[in-house]
Amino acid sequence: MAHLPVKIAPSILAADFTRLGEHISEAIVGGADWLHVDVMDGRFVPNISFGVMIPQAIRPLADAANVPLDVHLMIEEPDRYLTQFAGAGAARLTVHAEATRHLHRTVQAIKELGVKAGVALNPATSLTAVEEILPDVDLVLVMTVNPGFGGQQYIPQSTDKVRRLRQLLTQRRSNAWLQVDGGISAKNAAEVAVAGATSLVAGSAVFGGEKPVAENIAEIKNHVRTAFSI
Protein backbone atom coordinates (compact mmCIF):
# COMPACT_ATOMS: atom_id res chain seq x y z
CA MET A 1 0.00 0.00 0.00
CA ALA A 2 1.29 3.44 -0.91
CA HIS A 3 2.71 5.61 1.82
CA LEU A 4 0.10 7.88 3.45
CA PRO A 5 1.05 11.57 3.03
CA VAL A 6 -0.17 12.48 6.53
CA LYS A 7 0.61 11.38 10.08
CA ILE A 8 -2.25 10.63 12.45
CA ALA A 9 -1.73 11.88 15.99
CA PRO A 10 -4.46 10.73 18.40
CA SER A 11 -4.91 13.18 21.27
CA ILE A 12 -4.85 11.28 24.54
CA LEU A 13 -6.97 14.04 26.12
CA ALA A 14 -10.02 12.15 24.84
CA ALA A 15 -8.83 8.75 26.10
CA ASP A 16 -10.36 6.94 29.04
CA PHE A 17 -8.06 7.90 31.93
CA THR A 18 -9.14 4.92 34.03
CA ARG A 19 -7.46 2.74 31.41
CA LEU A 20 -5.09 5.14 29.72
CA GLY A 21 -2.35 2.60 29.00
CA GLU A 22 -4.78 0.21 27.38
CA HIS A 23 -6.36 2.93 25.26
CA ILE A 24 -2.94 4.14 24.12
CA SER A 25 -1.88 0.60 23.21
CA GLU A 26 -5.03 0.25 21.12
CA ALA A 27 -4.13 3.45 19.29
CA ILE A 28 -0.56 2.30 18.70
CA VAL A 29 -1.65 -1.10 17.38
CA GLY A 30 -4.35 0.66 15.37
CA GLY A 31 -1.81 2.74 13.45
CA ALA A 32 -1.23 5.95 15.45
CA ASP A 33 1.86 7.60 13.97
CA TRP A 34 2.40 10.04 16.86
CA LEU A 35 0.76 10.46 20.27
CA HIS A 36 -0.53 13.98 20.87
CA VAL A 37 -0.26 15.16 24.49
CA ASP A 38 -2.32 18.25 25.38
CA VAL A 39 -1.02 20.21 28.36
CA MET A 40 -3.34 22.97 29.64
CA ASP A 41 -2.60 25.37 32.47
CA GLY A 42 -5.95 27.01 33.25
CA ARG A 43 -4.42 30.36 32.29
CA PHE A 44 -3.60 30.33 28.60
CA VAL A 45 -6.72 28.22 28.14
CA PRO A 46 -9.67 27.96 30.54
CA ASN A 47 -9.10 24.28 31.23
CA ILE A 48 -6.46 22.40 33.25
CA SER A 49 -5.47 18.99 31.89
CA PHE A 50 -2.31 17.46 33.31
CA GLY A 51 1.39 18.08 33.78
CA VAL A 52 4.55 16.17 33.20
CA MET A 53 3.39 13.01 35.00
CA ILE A 54 1.31 11.83 32.05
CA PRO A 55 4.02 11.94 29.37
CA GLN A 56 6.39 10.39 31.91
CA ALA A 57 3.94 7.55 32.54
CA ILE A 58 3.16 6.77 28.91
CA ARG A 59 6.70 7.18 27.62
CA PRO A 60 7.64 3.48 27.94
CA LEU A 61 4.64 2.51 25.77
CA ALA A 62 5.51 5.09 23.16
CA ASP A 63 9.23 4.26 23.17
CA ALA A 64 8.61 0.53 22.85
CA ALA A 65 6.55 1.13 19.73
CA ASN A 66 8.80 3.89 18.41
CA VAL A 67 5.87 6.32 18.39
CA PRO A 68 6.95 9.90 19.18
CA LEU A 69 5.30 11.98 21.90
CA ASP A 70 4.01 15.17 20.29
CA VAL A 71 3.54 17.57 23.21
CA HIS A 72 1.25 20.58 22.73
CA LEU A 73 1.84 23.14 25.47
CA MET A 74 -1.20 25.35 25.99
CA ILE A 75 0.49 27.24 28.79
CA GLU A 76 1.54 30.81 29.48
CA GLU A 77 5.28 31.46 29.37
CA PRO A 78 6.13 27.94 28.24
CA ASP A 79 9.88 28.56 28.72
CA ARG A 80 9.37 27.73 32.39
CA TYR A 81 8.53 24.10 31.61
CA LEU A 82 10.52 23.18 28.50
CA THR A 83 13.23 21.29 30.36
CA GLN A 84 10.69 19.25 32.32
CA PHE A 85 8.74 18.16 29.26
CA ALA A 86 11.85 17.41 27.24
CA GLY A 87 13.00 15.26 30.15
CA ALA A 88 9.65 13.46 30.15
CA GLY A 89 10.33 12.17 26.65
CA ALA A 90 8.74 14.72 24.32
CA ALA A 91 10.03 14.28 20.77
CA ARG A 92 8.51 17.62 19.86
CA LEU A 93 7.40 20.58 21.93
CA THR A 94 4.82 22.90 20.38
CA VAL A 95 4.29 26.27 22.02
CA HIS A 96 1.70 28.91 21.24
CA ALA A 97 2.88 32.08 19.49
CA GLU A 98 0.39 33.94 21.72
CA ALA A 99 1.82 32.56 24.96
CA THR A 100 5.41 33.72 24.77
CA ARG A 101 6.74 37.23 24.30
CA HIS A 102 9.97 36.14 22.65
CA LEU A 103 8.98 33.32 20.36
CA HIS A 104 12.38 33.15 18.69
CA ARG A 105 14.07 32.67 22.04
CA THR A 106 11.58 30.00 23.07
CA VAL A 107 12.09 28.09 19.82
CA GLN A 108 15.87 28.23 20.25
CA ALA A 109 15.52 27.00 23.85
CA ILE A 110 13.52 23.99 22.65
CA LYS A 111 16.12 23.16 20.02
CA GLU A 112 18.93 23.45 22.55
CA LEU A 113 17.21 20.69 24.52
CA GLY A 114 17.57 18.42 21.49
CA VAL A 115 13.84 18.41 20.83
CA LYS A 116 11.95 19.39 17.65
CA ALA A 117 10.20 22.75 17.91
CA GLY A 118 6.62 23.51 16.90
CA VAL A 119 4.64 26.74 16.93
CA ALA A 120 0.85 26.80 17.31
CA LEU A 121 -1.50 29.56 16.15
CA ASN A 122 -4.97 30.18 17.58
CA PRO A 123 -7.81 30.59 15.08
CA ALA A 124 -7.65 34.41 15.29
CA THR A 125 -3.85 34.58 14.96
CA SER A 126 -2.50 35.47 11.54
CA LEU A 127 0.08 33.34 9.76
CA THR A 128 2.41 36.34 9.92
CA ALA A 129 3.01 35.46 13.60
CA VAL A 130 5.17 32.52 12.50
CA GLU A 131 6.48 33.79 9.16
CA GLU A 132 9.77 35.23 10.42
CA ILE A 133 10.87 32.08 12.19
CA LEU A 134 9.74 29.47 9.67
CA PRO A 135 13.33 28.34 8.95
CA ASP A 136 13.72 27.46 12.65
CA VAL A 137 10.58 25.43 13.18
CA ASP A 138 9.89 21.78 12.58
CA LEU A 139 6.11 22.12 12.76
CA VAL A 140 3.38 24.75 12.52
CA LEU A 141 0.13 23.90 14.25
CA VAL A 142 -3.02 25.55 12.91
CA MET A 143 -5.63 25.37 15.67
CA THR A 144 -8.92 24.50 14.02
CA VAL A 145 -10.88 25.17 17.23
CA ASN A 146 -10.19 27.56 20.09
CA PRO A 147 -7.84 25.57 22.31
CA GLY A 148 -8.91 24.33 25.73
CA PHE A 149 -11.34 21.50 25.18
CA GLY A 150 -11.73 18.37 23.15
CA GLY A 151 -14.91 17.57 21.26
CA GLN A 152 -15.48 21.00 19.67
CA GLN A 153 -16.64 21.76 16.13
CA TYR A 154 -14.09 22.34 13.36
CA ILE A 155 -14.00 26.05 12.35
CA PRO A 156 -14.69 25.98 8.59
CA GLN A 157 -12.44 28.96 7.67
CA SER A 158 -9.48 26.91 8.91
CA THR A 159 -9.24 25.08 5.59
CA ASP A 160 -8.33 28.28 3.79
CA LYS A 161 -5.75 29.09 6.46
CA VAL A 162 -4.18 25.66 5.95
CA ARG A 163 -4.08 26.28 2.20
CA ARG A 164 -2.38 29.66 2.68
CA LEU A 165 0.14 28.20 5.10
CA ARG A 166 0.92 25.41 2.63
CA GLN A 167 1.65 28.07 -0.02
CA LEU A 168 3.89 29.94 2.41
CA LEU A 169 5.81 26.78 3.34
CA THR A 170 6.27 25.93 -0.33
CA GLN A 171 7.47 29.47 -1.14
CA ARG A 172 9.98 29.34 1.71
CA ARG A 173 11.04 25.79 0.82
CA SER A 174 10.19 24.69 4.34
CA ASN A 175 9.81 21.01 5.17
CA ALA A 176 7.98 21.78 8.43
CA TRP A 177 5.01 19.63 9.30
CA LEU A 178 1.68 21.39 8.92
CA GLN A 179 -0.47 20.16 11.77
CA VAL A 180 -4.19 20.70 12.34
CA ASP A 181 -5.82 20.20 15.73
CA GLY A 182 -9.45 20.44 16.81
CA GLY A 183 -12.62 18.88 15.46
CA ILE A 184 -10.75 16.63 13.02
CA SER A 185 -12.62 13.46 12.06
CA ALA A 186 -13.19 11.13 9.13
CA LYS A 187 -15.59 13.78 7.81
CA ASN A 188 -12.96 16.50 7.23
CA ALA A 189 -9.63 14.62 7.26
CA ALA A 190 -9.45 14.49 3.48
CA GLU A 191 -10.35 18.17 3.17
CA VAL A 192 -7.52 19.34 5.43
CA ALA A 193 -5.02 16.90 3.93
CA VAL A 194 -5.81 18.07 0.40
CA ALA A 195 -5.46 21.68 1.63
CA GLY A 196 -1.93 20.81 2.73
CA ALA A 197 -1.98 19.45 6.29
CA THR A 198 0.57 16.69 6.91
CA SER A 199 -0.24 15.90 10.55
CA LEU A 200 -3.77 15.41 11.81
CA VAL A 201 -4.56 15.49 15.52
CA ALA A 202 -7.80 13.77 16.49
CA GLY A 203 -9.13 13.24 20.00
CA SER A 204 -12.79 12.40 20.23
CA ALA A 205 -12.87 10.98 16.69
CA VAL A 206 -10.29 8.38 17.79
CA PHE A 207 -11.09 7.70 21.46
CA GLY A 208 -14.72 8.78 21.74
CA GLY A 209 -17.81 6.91 20.64
CA GLU A 210 -18.61 3.24 20.59
CA LYS A 211 -16.37 1.99 17.81
CA PRO A 212 -12.95 0.48 18.49
CA VAL A 213 -10.02 2.90 18.40
CA ALA A 214 -8.31 1.00 15.57
CA GLU A 215 -11.42 1.23 13.44
CA ASN A 216 -11.62 4.99 13.99
CA ILE A 217 -8.00 5.49 12.95
CA ALA A 218 -8.46 3.27 9.89
CA GLU A 219 -11.52 5.26 8.87
CA ILE A 220 -9.62 8.56 8.99
CA LYS A 221 -6.72 7.08 7.04
CA ASN A 222 -9.03 5.59 4.44
CA HIS A 223 -10.66 8.92 3.75
CA VAL A 224 -7.25 10.48 3.16
CA ARG A 225 -6.21 7.55 0.96
CA THR A 226 -9.31 7.89 -1.16
CA ALA A 227 -8.73 11.65 -1.57
CA PHE A 228 -5.18 11.01 -2.81
CA SER A 229 -6.22 7.92 -4.80
CA ILE A 230 -3.73 5.68 -3.00
Active site amino acids: 38, 181
Contact with ligand DX5 (CB under 6 A): which of 6, 26, 34, 38?
38
Among the residue ranges 18-26, 63-71, 157-165, 182-190, the one whose residues contact ligand DX5 (CB under 6 A): 182-190
Contacts of 18 (CB under 8 A, 6+ apart): none
Binding mask 30-49 for Zn ion (x = CB under 5 A): --------x-----------
- Residue 10 binds to ligand DX5 (criterion: CB under 6 A): no
Contact with ligand DX5 (CB under 6 A): which of 4, 6, 8, 13?
13
DSSP for 102-171 reads: -HHHHHHHHHHTT-EEEEEE-TTS-THHHHTTGGG-SEEEEESS-TT-SSPPP-TTHHHHHHHHHHHHHH
In the bound state with ligand DX5, the residue whose beta carbon lies nearer, of 109 and 205, is 205
Contact with ligand DX5 (CB under 6 A): which of 117, 202, 220, 224?
202
Three-class SS state of 61: helix
- Residue 89 binds to ligand DX5 (criterion: CB under 6 A): no
In the bound state with ligand DX5, the residue whose beta carbon lies nearer, of 68 and 203, is 203
- Residue 181 binds to Zn ion (criterion: CB under 5 A): yes
- State how beta strands 7-10 and 35-40 pair: unpaired
Shortest distance, CB of residue 202 to ligand DX5, whole angstroms?
5
- Residue 14 binds to ligand DX5 (criterion: CB under 6 A): yes
In the bound state with ligand DX5, the residue whose beta carbon lies nearer, of 82 and 202, is 202
Distance (Å, whole) CA 129 – CA 167: 16
Handedness of CA 191, 6, 4, 23 (dihedral sign): negative
Report DSSP state, residue 187. T
Residue 39, beta-bridge partner list: 73
Cβ neighbours of 137 (radius 10 Å): 21
What does the binding site for ligand DX5 look like in residue numbers (CB under 6 A)?
Answer: 11, 13-14, 36, 38, 72, 145, 147-152, 181-184, 201-205
What does the binding site for Zn ion look like in residue numbers (CB under 5 A)?
Answer: 38, 72, 181
